[in-house]
Amino acid sequence: MIKVNLVAVGKVKEKYFADGISEYSKRLSRFCEFKIIEVAEENYQKADDGLVSVIKEKESERILPHLKGFVFAMAIEGEKLSSEKFASTLKNLSNRGVGVITFVIGGSYGLSDQVKKRADKLLSFSDMTFPHTLFRLMLTEQIYRAFSINGGSAYHK
Q: Could you give the number of structural domains in the chain? A: 1
pLDDT at 49: 77
Instruction: Determine the structural domain holding residue 26 and report its residue range.
Output: 3-150
Helix (H, G, I), strand (E, B) or coil at 44: coil
Asked, for residue 156, whether it belongs to a domain, the answer is: no
Which residues fall within 8 angstroms of residue 12, CB to CB, at 6 or more apart?
18, 21, 133, 136
Q: For residues 75 and 124, is the Cβ–Cβ distance under 8 A?
A: yes
Residue-by-residue pLDDT tens, the chain, 157 positions: 999 999 999 999 999 999 999 999 999 999 999 999 999 999 877 778 788 999 999 999 999 999 999 999 999 999 999 999 999 999 999 999 999 999 999 998 999 999 999 999 999 999 998 998 999 999 999 999 999 999 998 887 7
pLDDT at 156: 75
How far, CA to CA in Å, does 23 sit from each of 20, 28, 144?
Answer: 5, 9, 10
Count of Cβ atoms closer than 10 Å to residue 26 Cβ: 11
Question: Which uninterrupted H or E stretch holds 80?
Answer: strand 70-80
Asked, for residue 25, whether it belongs to a domain, the answer is: yes
Q: For residues 68 and 102, is the Cβ–Cβ distance under 8 A?
A: yes
Residue 42, domain CATH: 3.40.1280.10
pLDDT at 155: 87
pLDDT at 133: 92
